[in-house]
Amino acid sequence: MQLTTEVTGHDGYAVVVVAGELDLGTASDLLETLTETVKAGDLDVILDLAGLEFCDSAGLAVFVRIRNELDAARRRLVVAGANETVTRILDLSGVSQVIPTVPDTPAAVALVNQGPDAVAPANGAQAAADPAEPTDAADPAEPTDAADPAEPTDAADPAVPTPDAGGPATP
């Protein structure tokens, strides 16, 4: 089985539905799709992984790369709906410490609508099996955020100005 991706744009965020198997052979396809998505606009990105059956460290590398790009632009990557085995590798690797994981896409939408500093609910991750592992996305190494306007939960105004709407963040 190969990998399929489907991107839908929304107001302030994009949902990327990823299904199949994510490994050395398919990671570059996902990286390409996500890079285009990030370039296309100032958006948070929700990865809907409900249909992802396998993910190894090649897949994690893509998640982290995109997470870092978004983070530099004060945007977020949120993982939604990962199955038990995908959640396990996210936790084992520590990647879930910097990429919030929530049970499904609606929960991810709720999270990104709360703004860049919202934290996933403690019981939000399916990976809640290990209570010692915080699921919160707040990275102590992250720069403090001073001037970020809270995003409206209502999508009424698509033209909310953001101070850092500038282009791609990666050098």
Q: Is 35 an interacting residue with respect to other proteins (CB under 8 A)?
A: no
Query: Strand 3-9's sheet: what is its strand order?
Result: 3-9, 13-22, 44-55, 77-80, 101-102
Q: Which of 4, 11, 23, 115 binds other proteins (CB under 8 A)?
A: 23
* Residue 52, strand partner residues: 20
Q: Which positions from 115 through 144 interact with other proteins, judged by CB under 8 A?
A: 139, 141
Contact predicate 47/19, CB 8 Å = no
46 CA to centre of own chain: 5
Q: Which of 10, 35, 50, 57 binds other proteins (CB under 8 A)?
A: 57
As measured in angstroms, the least distance from the Cβ of 8 to other proteins is 27
Q: How many CB atoms lie within 10 A of CB 133?
A: 14
Q: Which of 16, 38, 60, 79 binds other proteins (CB under 8 A)?
A: 60
Candidate segments 16-24, 32-40, 73-81, 162-170, binder of other proteins by CB under 8 A: 16-24
Residues with Cβ within 8 Å of residue 56, at least 6 apart in sequence: 22, 23, 24, 89
Q: Is 94 an interacting residue with respect to other proteins (CB under 8 A)?
A: yes
As measured in angstroms, the least distance from the Cβ of 54 to other proteins is 7
Measured over the CA atoms of residue 20, residue 25, residue 27 and residue 28, the dihedral's sign is negative
Binding site for other proteins (CB under 8 A): 1, 21, 23-25, 54, 56-58, 60-61, 64-65, 67-68, 84-85, 88-89, 92-95, 97-99, 139, 141
